[in-house]
């Protein structure tokens, strides 16, 4: 199954990459980066936060200005992911997830992380990895998941973006590439006036955070995109004395000013993309709810949301389609295309209503008598938009998929009231109070060990008066 889902990337990215060198000039990197940047936006989303976006861009451009050779136009983004990570696309696209930001203490640490990713781009590490056939992450193209479930090309008649992975094109760099990005990145950061040890500080804190969250010491790497971090940190510290930072002013004048940019940073799942509460999905901004099978896994991306079995042999996915056409017009077009396929049998196609919303239901099945697979496609008109719900499954799952598809409805007031937004806020400590006392006073929702970690403080030591402390607060979510 996994092999089937990877086929597109293995074919697409390997095309034209031959021999022992890189055949393409940098225009190839730019084209590849631009194409995948669109996928990142669909897969993760771009997070908008004025002060942090300005900060990340300013630090990034400061670093880029120190490059001796730069054939790329660098662009810097905040990725709307709660996972702590940073990654680069070919051609100069650098992403910092909002999930890594709370762990960063200083501008020097942010610069160290960004410089590492910049070197991946300038040294064309992603393209070199593609030549070796090493591709990290899976983004399933229209219909690919149905193809995987059915073992056929049935999905090719559909236009349903589906993504189960939180990664798009994030190469699993070789150890040599990451070592080069660390060494040259530290040198780049120092040339822009940043502490050469700062990247090691950030990596060690990240490794400790993984241990706190998972309950296990990090054994290999973080999110499989970088080598074992304790070894990386040690190598960086050994190399740091060679790179004395030049005298160059920082973007922010102090640690306090740097961390002041973090106020109102979304923490954890972003309600703007909708949230799961067990098997109930609520999208407060679009105003709909959906109930998925309780024992299925779930995914939630800007372009799609859905649920699937552990074996990925059945799934349900929802996304918004062309609102310029009616549900029936869209469904009839797919029906016509399906009718021309030798692998599909059209079972039924009807106009219907789902919880007072006009809808069109198309039922298909595979023509393979040895492997009967059913496909249900439902288009629903709701609040001026047309939503597509697709299910692919074996006959035993017919009832549970039907119930899930028909559960689409307007969100109830009580459901919307349960949606909360978690935000990072910077507060000031009182004289001699502990993190425990400050958390109780300020309504901090983050566990104490993690609160100590994101502030690089000892949980037991009293805080200095007026020292800044990052905490997490919750608020009722108001759709924008």
**Per-residue pLDDT reduced to its tens digit, 243-291:** 988 999 999 999 999 999 999 999 999 999 999 999 999 999 999 999 9
When mean pLDDT is compared across 68-77, 161-170, 369-378, the lowest value belongs to: 161-170
Check if the beta carbon of residue 41 is closer than 8 Å to that of residue 79: no
Residue-level pLDDT at 24: 62
Please identify which residue in the block is written with the tokens 């990895």. Answer: 129
Mean pLDDT rounded to a whole number for the chain: 83
Residue-level pLDDT at 172: 57
pLDDT above 80 (res 63) = yes
Q: pTM here? A: 0.83
pLDDT above 90 (res 99) = yes
Higher pLDDT, 164 or 197: 197
Higher pLDDT, 207 or 480: 207
- What is the C-alpha separation between 124 and 69, in angstroms, rounded? 13
Residue-level pLDDT at 250: 96
Residue-level pLDDT at 388: 92
Position 186 confidence tier, pLDDT thresholds 50, 70, 90: very high
Position 334 confidence tier, pLDDT thresholds 50, 70, 90: confident
Question: Residue 378 class from Cβ within 10 Å (0-12 exposed, 13-18 middle, 19+ buried)?
Answer: buried
Residue-level pLDDT at 165: 37
Q: Where are the alpha helices (DSSP H) in 406-474?
A: 413-416, 435-442, 448-454
């Amino acid at each position: 199954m996994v092999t089937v889902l990877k086929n597109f990337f293995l074919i697409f990215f390997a095309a034209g990459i031959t021999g022992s060198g890189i055949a393409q000039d940098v225009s190839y990197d730019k084209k590849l980066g631009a194409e995948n940047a669109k996928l990142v936006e669909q897969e993760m989303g771009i997070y908008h936060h004025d002060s942090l976006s300005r900060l990340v861009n300013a630090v990034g451009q400061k670093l880029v200005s120190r490059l001796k050779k730069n054939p790329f136009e660098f662009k810097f983004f905040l990725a709307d992911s709660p996972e702590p990570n940073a990654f680069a696309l070919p051609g100069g696209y650098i992403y910092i997830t909002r999930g890594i930001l709370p762990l960063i203490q200083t501008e020097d640490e942010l610069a160290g992380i960004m410089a590492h990713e910049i070197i991946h781009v300038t040294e064309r590490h992603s393209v070199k990895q593609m030549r070796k056939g090493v591709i990290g992450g899976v983004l399933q193209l229209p219909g690919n998941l149905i193809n995987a479930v059915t073992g056929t090309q049935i999905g090719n008649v559909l236009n349903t973006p589906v993504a189960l992975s939180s990664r798009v094109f994030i190469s699993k760099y070789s150890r040599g590439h990451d070592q080069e990005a660390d060494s040259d990145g530290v040198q780049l950061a120092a040339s822009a006036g940043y502490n050469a040890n700062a990247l090691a500080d950030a990596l060690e804190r990240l490794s400790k955070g993984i241990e706190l969250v998972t309950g296990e010491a990090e054994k290999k790497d973080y999110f499989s995109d970088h080598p074992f971090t304790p070894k990386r940190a040690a190598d960086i510290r050994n190399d740091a004395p060679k790179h004395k930072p030049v005298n160059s002013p920082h973007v922010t004048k102090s640690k306090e000013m740097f961390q002041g940019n973090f106020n109102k940073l979304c923490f954890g799942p972003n309600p703007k993309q909708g949230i799961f509460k067990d098997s109930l999905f609520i999208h407060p901004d679009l105003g709909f709810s959906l109930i998925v099978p309780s024992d299925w896994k779930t995914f939630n991306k800007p372009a799609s949301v859905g649920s699937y079995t552990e074996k990925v042999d059945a799934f349900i996915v929802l996304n918004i389609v062309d609102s310029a056409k009616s549900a029936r017009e869209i469904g009839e077009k797919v029906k016509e295309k399906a009718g021309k396929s030798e692998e599909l049998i059209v079972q039924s196609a009807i106009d219907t209503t789902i919880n007072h919303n006009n809808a069109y239901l198309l039922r298909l099945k595979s023509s393979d008598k040895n492997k009967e697979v059913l496909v249900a496609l439902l288009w629903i008109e709701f609040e001026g938009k047309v939503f597509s719900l697709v299910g692919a499954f074996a006959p035993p799952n017919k009832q549970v998929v039907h119930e899930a598809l028909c559960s689409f409805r307007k969100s109830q007031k009580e459901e919307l009231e349960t949606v909360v937004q978690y935000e990072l806020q910077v507060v000031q400590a009182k004289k001699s109070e502990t993190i425990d006392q400050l958390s109780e006073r300020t309504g901090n929702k983050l566990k104490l060990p993690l609160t100590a970690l994101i502030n690089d403080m000892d949980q037991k030591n009293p805080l200095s008066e007026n020292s800044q402390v990052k905490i997490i607060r919750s608020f009722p979510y108001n759709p924008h």
